[in-house]
């Protein structure tokens, strides 16, 4: 990297003391830092790509749903998918309570909703997630249903198991389904 | 020698463009330039943790735009440009956080040594670091790239912009200022 051109050494005449100083590195580094760094960088790159991968490119084994959101960055987080999956379970369970929560509903609608809730409760999580994906449910709707602005408001910072644990301890009948404003028939 | 370096860089760039080989090729790039870029960034931002963040972000940014890299500049100068920009952004944040701390540190380092040529190696180094800290940001960059990283003026021009003449003048000016500070007190 040294420059062969003569003017590159000109400065040494103007700053002879500086020119004679031995060059030292400006401090230490942790042991094995440069051995670990390439893997850390490649891991960061791979995890970034995974988070940015469109739904169609994500391996089929991954339970993924893309909610319409004004805050897309949060959708990249694994924990949110766990929460979304939990919401699917929550919806399935909550619709089972729908008749009690909405006593003024038209009897015909009520019969449909009862039938719907039974059907929804028996549906595979991924089918529910796929249906939600086609709906207008936003990320804010998800959190609003849970009475929160975001996941941190729920005091949840962990992965799927912690989210499910949180939901298991909630009284599902307390959630106001009107906030979601979803026509159940649109999900089927 | 130069021809063989050029050929291997052309080959590397070709592998960086091909989906099947780009990840392995990029890992080679990281391995080849990480140390050089780390010390460049470390000298600019000072702290290891900060330098680590800057360096990792620089490589991630390089990866994201690697498909657009056509080899118009050398890989090294392209990476230097990315890392320098990242370091400058980090420096802005650090400056906002603790500008007065940096100034105080430089003052402390300057005033804590009074023995001139009798200073120990570490003390001289501390005084040099303090003197570099007092340079304006652009001049500091030029000084670090020339004095420590030993880049050529042409390489510096490719990274920083500007002409070889202006960079040379800037470096000479910085070197003289630092010399005066090292010899003062």
A26–B27: do the CB atoms touch at under 8 Å? no
Confidence of residue A71 (pLDDT cuts 50, 70, 90): very low
CA distance A154 to chain B (A): 30
The CA angle B150-B153-B155, to the nearest 5 degrees, is: 80
Q: Which of A62-71, A172-181, B96-105 has the highest mean pLDDT?
A: B96-105
CB pair distance less than 8 Å for A1 and B129? no
Residue A96 DSSP label: T
Q: Are A41 and B59 in contact (CB under 8 A)?
A: yes
Q: Do A45 and B151 touch (CB under 8 A)?
A: no
Q: Which residues contact A3 (CB under 8 A, 6 or more apart)?
A: B150, B151, B152, B153
What angle, 0 to 180 degrees and rounded to 10, lies between the N-to-C axes of helices B75-111 and B2-17? 110
Question: Is B39 an interface residue toward A (CB < 8 Å)?
Answer: yes
Report the residue from B147, B151, B179 with minimal CB separation from A17.
B179
The average pLDDT across A84-88 equals 56
| B124 contacts in chain A (CB < 8 Å) | 21
Q: Is B51 left (phi over 0), alpha (psi -120 to 50) or beta?
A: alpha
Tell me how close the Cα of B113 comes to any Cα of chain A, in angstroms: 17
Confidence of residue A187 (pLDDT cuts 50, 70, 90): very low
Best of B76, B116, B152 to mutate (most A CBs within 10 Å, chain A): B152
Question: Any bridge partners for residue A68, and if so which?
Answer: A138
Do residues A67 and A134 lie in contact, with contact meaning Cβ atoms separated by under 8 Å?
no
Token representation of residue A62? 């991954």
Closest partner CB to A44 (pick from B60, B150, B172): B60
**Tokens in use for A45?**
């790159």
Cβ contacts of A44 within 8 Å, gap of 6 or more: B56, B60
Comparing CA positions, the residue from A151, A139, A137, A123 lying closest to residue A186 is: A137
Q: Is residue B179 scored above 70 in pLDDT?
A: yes
- Which residues partner with A138 through β-bridges? A68
- Is B95 at the interface with chain A, CB within 8 A? no
For chain B, say whether A181 makes contact (Cβ under 8 Å).
no
Asked if the C-beta of B151 comes within 8 angstroms of chain A's C-beta atoms, the answer is yes
Give tens-digit pLDDT for A110-124. 555 555 554 555 555
Distance from CA of A59 to the nearest CA of B (A): 18
Provide the token pair at A140: 């804010």
Report whether B79 contacts B62 (CB < 8 A).
Answer: yes
Min Cα separation B96/chain A (Å)? 22
Only one residue has tokens 């089972």, namely A96
Query: A48: which 2 tokens?
Result: 């970034």
pLDDT tens, residue by residue, A149-165:
666 665 655 544 454 45
Q: For B53, which residue in chain A has the nearest alpha carbon?
A: A41
Model-level pTM greater than 0.80? no
Tens digits of residue pLDDT in B35-88: 999 999 998 888 899 999 999 999 999 999 887 787 777 889 999 999 999 998
Q: Are A14 and B35 in contact (CB < 8 Å)?
A: no
In A, which residues are within 8 Å of B184 by CB distance?
none
In this complex, the residue of B34, B43, B124 whose CB is nearest that of residue A21 is: B124
Contact call for B27 and A21, based on CB within 8 A: no
Task: Provide the terminal-to-terminal Cα distance of chain B, rounded to the nearest Å.
Answer: 47
Identify the H or E element spanning B136. Answer: none
**CB distance A160 to A85 below 8 Å:** yes
Tokens, residue B87 = 């370091």
Determine the average pLDDT of the residues in A32-45: 93
Q: Give alpha helix (H) positions in A53-106.
A: 72-75, 78-95, 98-101
CA angle A127, A132, A134 (to 5 degrees): 100
């Amino acid at each position: 990297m040294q420059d062969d051109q003569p003017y590159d050494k000109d400065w040494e005449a103007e700053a002879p003391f500086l020119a004679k100083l031995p060059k030292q590195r400006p401090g230490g580094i942790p042991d094995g830092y440069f051995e670990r760094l390439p893997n850390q960088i490649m891991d960061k790159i791979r995890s970034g790509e995974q988070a940015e991968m469109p739904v169609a490119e994500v391996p089929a084994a991954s339970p993924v749903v893309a909610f319409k959101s004004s805050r897309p960055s949060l959708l990249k987080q694994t924990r949110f998918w766990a929460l979304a999956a939990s919401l699917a379970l929550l919806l399935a369970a909550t619709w089972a309570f729908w008749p009690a929560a909405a006593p003024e509903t038209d009897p015909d609608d009520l019969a449909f909703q009862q039938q719907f809730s039974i059907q929804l409760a028996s549906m595979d999580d991924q089918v529910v997630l796929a249906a939600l994906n086609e709906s207008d449910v936003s990320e804010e709707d998800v959190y609003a249903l849970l009475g929160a602005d975001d996941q941190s408001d729920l005091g949840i910072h962990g992965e799927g198991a912690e989210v499910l644990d949180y939901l298991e301890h909630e009284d599902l009948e307390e959630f106001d389904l009107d906030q979601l404003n979803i026509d159940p028939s649109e999900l089927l | 020698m130069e021809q063989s370096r050029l050929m291997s860089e052309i080959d590397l760039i070709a592998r960086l463009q091909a989906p099947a080989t780009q990840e392995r090729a990029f890992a080679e790039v990281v391995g080849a330039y990480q140390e050089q870029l780390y010390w460049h960034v470390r000298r600019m931002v000072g702290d290891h943790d900060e330098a680590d963040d800057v360096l990792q972000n620089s490589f991630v940014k390089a990866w994201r735009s690697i498909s657009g890299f056509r080899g118009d500049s050398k890989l090294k100068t392209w990476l230097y440009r990315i890392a320098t920009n990242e370091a400058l952004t980090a420096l802005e944040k650090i400056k906002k956080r603790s500008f007065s701390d940096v100034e105080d540190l430089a003052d402390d380092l300057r005033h804590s040594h009074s023995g001139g040529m009798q200073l120990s190696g570490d003390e001289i180094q501390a005084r040099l670091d303090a003197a570099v800290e007092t340079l304006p940001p652009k001049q500091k960059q030029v000084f670090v790239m020339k004095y420590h990283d030993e880049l050529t003026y042409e390489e510096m021009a490719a990274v920083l912009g500007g002409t070889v003449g202006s960079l040379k003048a800037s470096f000479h000016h910085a070197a003289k200022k630092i010399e005066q500070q090292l010899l003062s007190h």
